[in-house]
Amino acid sequence: MKLLLTSAGIKNPSIERALVGLLGRPIAACNALCIPTAGYGHPQGSPGGAYRFITGKASTPMCELGWKSLGVLELTALPSIGEDRWIPWVREADVLLVNGGDALYLNHWMRLSGLAALLPTLPDLVWAGLSAGSMVMTPRIGQDFVGWQPPGGGDGALGWVDFSIFPHLDHPALPENTLADAERWAAGLTNPAYAICDDTAIQVVDGAVEVISEGHWKQFTPAASGA
């Protein structure tokens, strides 16, 4: 699977070019499924937020990019309908557009639904994550971002990449997301990490990591963060 881990969606031409490169053809030729699940687990999540994400009325461009087809894959529904129904939907998709919200809630439902087990068998599928939809791929999200409490506790996510992500760096509406806050957050981790602004994304293909940015970002290593 190919990963495009964004802070706030496809916010600029550089990130869009990276997405098209991962897809291997124009957006208008690709089939997308969007996953709103993470939003329901966040304390500020709402049905309206899910609607805005799906209909492209949010400020985080994903679903409104002009896909050949667009469907909704709600992970909480999958265990009740059977793999024989939903697995073909995922196999037929070119990209999964994954909303933000609560990364641990998303992690829980990815595992419980069976999606986490399926994805490694789909090397050509693109995962385009937005905020928590990106953080879920990391080994840890850090205690600052723990909201919904998983049954086993902790802050661990899927661990499909070896770094953590601090999204929305220096966002004007998030005074707690300064570089100083990111440095403190990184100091509590034992793995590499990135703080990324909304004009930045991280591409991961076959283990190769590339930062795509028209904004600003910072990389932290365990040694540099004091871990």
Residue 45's pLDDT is what?
65
pLDDT tens readout for residues 23-72: 999 999 999 999 999 999 777 767 888 899 999 999 999 999 999 999 99
CATH code of the domain in which 118 resides: 3.40.50.880
Q: Judge whether 64 lies within some domain.
A: yes
pLDDT score for 46 = 74
Give domain status of residue 96, yes or no. yes
Under a CB-based contact definition with an 8 Å cutoff, are residues 134 and 97 in contact?
no
158 within domain boundaries: yes
Out of 46-50, 82-86, 127-131, 139-143, least confident range: 46-50
3-state secondary structure the chain: CEEEEECCCCCCHHHHHHHHHHHCCCHHHCEEEEECCHHHHCCCCCHHHHHHHHHCCCCCCCCCCCCCEEEECCHHHHHHCCHHHHHHHHHCCCEEEECCCCHHHHHHHHHHHCHHHHHHHCCCCEEEEECHHHHCCCCECCHHHCCCCCCCCCCECCCCCCCEEECCCCCCCCCCCCHHHHHHHHHCCCCCEEEECCCEEEEEECCEEEEEECCCEEEECCCCCCC
Distance separating alpha carbons of residues 58 and 139, to the nearest angstrom: 28
**pLDDT score, position 226:** 39
- Residue 87: inside a domain, yes or no? yes
Q: What are phi and psi of 166, to 5 degrees?
A: -105, 105
Q: Tell me which residue range forms the domain holding 158.
A: 2-162+196-210
Residue 208 has pLDDT above 60, yes or no: yes
Distance CA 201, CA 95 (A): 16
For the chain, what is the domain count?
1
Distance CA 213, CA 11 (A): 10
Q: Is 29 part of any domain?
A: yes
Residue 139 domain-assigned (yes or no) = yes
Domain for residue 48, yes or no? yes
Q: What pLDDT does 42 receive?
A: 77
Contact between residue 137 and residue 5 where contact means Cβ atoms under 8 Å apart: yes
Residue range 110-124: average pLDDT?
97
Mean pLDDT of 80-92: 96
Between 152 and 226, whose confidence is greater? 152
Residue 168 lies in a domain: no
8 pLDDT tier (thresholds 50, 70, 90): very high
How far is the CA of 147 from the CAs of 6, 7, 9, 154, in angstroms? 20, 18, 22, 11
Q: Which two tokens stand for residue 108?
A: 């829980």
In angstroms, the CA 193 to CA 163 distance is 5
User: φ and ψ at 102, to 5 degrees?
Assistant: -110, 115
Place of tokens 């963060």: 225
The dihedrals phi and psi of 106, each to the nearest 5 degrees, come to -65, -45
pLDDT class of 224 with cuts at 50, 70, 90? very low
